Amino acid sequence: MLPYLITFTLSLVAYSFAIRSLNRRLRLLLIVISILLPATLAGLHDPSLGLDWYGYGIDIWEIATNIHSFNSFLQYYPAIEPGYKLLNYAISFISSDYHVFFFFHQLILASIAIFVAYFNRNHKYSEIILIFYFLYMYNTSINIIRQSLALMMFLLAYTLWDSHYRKSSYSIFGISLFFHTSAVFAFPIYIVSAFKHVLRKYRVFIITAIIWTAYYTINSYTYILTQLIDLNIFSGHYIGYADQVGEVSIHKTDIAFQAGIIILLFCLPSKAKNKEICFQISILALMAITLNLFGNITDIAFRVAHYFILPIAILMPRVSRSLKVNQIACIIFAILLASRFLYFVFSGGAENTVPYKSMLLGI
């Protein structure tokens, strides 16, 4: 775990100095360092990361490095999105070493994380966005390589949407679908954001509707899934993932983390709250909890829940009009993130990434 903590800390320190530097060249240098540190750590990692890396990582990479036509490459693994294949194909021109792909994959993700944090630097405590990336996304992204690209692209898309760059946001969101089609399930977040004023007026009804829908869907899941299959909405590739009753379990740790976010907002001083931001965060956390309750039915729900947590990192520094309350909220949010991270590290190896393994470094 130590290589991760050292890298995360150094990258965060470099970013913190960058947003406080008045010298443009120094600022750029620090930002580059902040990006290169986590990308290099991922690049030096061995591919001992479980089924996803061998099924969607190494196998696809080896085909990309041994094929001369992208059109021919598209014929392999037809269920794999074309954006991810194109990325493999493009990087294969640089090197056939899988460590190079690991590096560039994380370079993209780290660049997005740093950009999003820097884009929000006018809001105090934008460092929480980078802390979120390291403690929530980094280790997971090394394993779920395809979806992690879509997740971080959606984070970028939401940032642009939140800053009223609507066309750019839709474009990035569209691109994310070419890397992992699960991004389509993130579209309701746009609805929550666009109609936050209206939805807040009917918050009791909205919360009740979410709970009732979850209850009905869980109890009628087999019937609903059968209808979706009959309508050809689910492809053959996803049916196996969609129907996993008894094969997977509810992700209780993530539910506790998401419930902790709601409790955090509830405990903030009422007069100091930014009620619109707090409402958005509460609804997103509640929807993530609802998805995680489907954990004993399908692992897809757990994967989709990630999308609903991403915007919370952007919104957290604005939960109050008081800088002091914002600071307290961000500190508690960081503690929740650290608790979740440490639990996964000590209970399951954090997506098989702990302990850190690198033949190149002799670890």
Closest by CA position to 164, among listed 134, 198, 194: 194
Which has the higher per-residue pLDDT, 48 or 63? 63
78: three-class secondary structure by DSSP: coil
The answer to whether residue 304 is domain-embedded is yes
Q: Are 306 and 313 in contact (CB under 8 A)?
A: no
Q: What average pLDDT does range 110-116 have in this prediction?
A: 97
Question: Running DSSP on this structure, what letter comes out for residue 1?
Answer: -
d(CA 325, CA 294): 34
What is the per-residue pLDDT across 314-346, written as a single tens digit (0 to 9) for each?
A: 999 999 888 899 999 999 999 999 999 998 888
What is the per-residue pLDDT across 15-24, written as a single tens digit (0 to 9) for each?
A: 999 998 778 8
d(CA 271, CA 162): 24
Q: Are 180 and 84 in contact (CB under 8 A)?
A: yes
Per residue in 180-198, is it b (16+ CB within 10 Å) or e — as a string? bbbbebbeebbebbeeeee
Give the pLDDT of residue 59.
Answer: 83
What is the per-residue pLDDT across 230-248, written as a single tens digit (0 to 9) for each?
A: 656 555 555 555 554 444 4
Domain span at residue 245? 195-321
Give the pLDDT of residue 192.
Answer: 84
The answer to whether residue 291 is domain-embedded is yes
The answer to whether residue 357 is domain-embedded is no
Residue type, 126: S
The answer to whether residue 7 is domain-embedded is no
The answer to whether residue 305 is domain-embedded is yes
Q: Give the count of domains, the chain.
A: 1
Q: What average pLDDT does range 136-162 have in this prediction?
A: 92
Give the pLDDT of residue 346.
Answer: 84
Using alpha carbons, list the distances in angstroms from residue 59 to 88, 131, 181, 200, 359.
11, 32, 20, 47, 20
The answer to whether residue 22 is domain-embedded is no
Q: What average pLDDT does range 110-127 have in this prediction?
A: 92
HSE-CB of 172 using CA atoms within 13 angstroms: 20
Residue 335 CB neighbours (<10 A): 12
Q: Are 363 and 48 in contact (CB under 8 A)?
A: no
Q: Are 110 and 39 in contact (CB under 8 A)?
A: yes
The answer to whether residue 54 is domain-embedded is no
The answer to whether residue 118 is domain-embedded is no
Using alpha carbons, list the distances in angstroms from residue 189 to 9, 87, 99, 200.
31, 27, 35, 14
